[in-house]
Copies of this chain bind each other. A is one copy, B any other.
Amino acid sequence: MKKAIFYHAGCPVCVSAEQQVVESIDKDRYDIEIVHLGEDTGRGRINEAEQAGIESVPAILLDGAAFHINFGASMADVKGDA
């Protein structure tokens, strides 16, 4: 199984994108994880996302490759230090 990780921050644009993008992915070939970075108080998942090349949310990591969807909140906004 390949890994797909969908990162979002709970905003309406993220939730809408999550539902439609995740719905389209082939669950027979991809193990899908959904990560709400706005609830990542320990920042472990934020750090992981940044290291994977995620610069804004919503975004999806497909087999290690980062794809930013539309433009939602910057990583600085998610951290609250923008």
A 25-47 binary contact with B (CB < 8 Å = 1; else 0): 11111100000000000000000
B67, A21: Cβ atoms under 8 Å? yes
A49 within 8 Å of B (CB atoms): no
Which residues of A in the span 55-82 have a Cβ within 8 Å of any Cβ on B? 62-63, 65, 67-71
Number of A residues, CB within 8 Å of B: 22
In the complex formed, the residue of B with least CB distance to A30 is B24
Contact indicator B62/A24 (Cβ below 8 Å): yes
Query: Is A27 in contact with B24, judged by CB distance below 8 angstroms?
Result: no
- A interface list, Cβ under 8 A from B: 2, 4, 16-17, 20-21, 23-30, 62-63, 65, 67-71
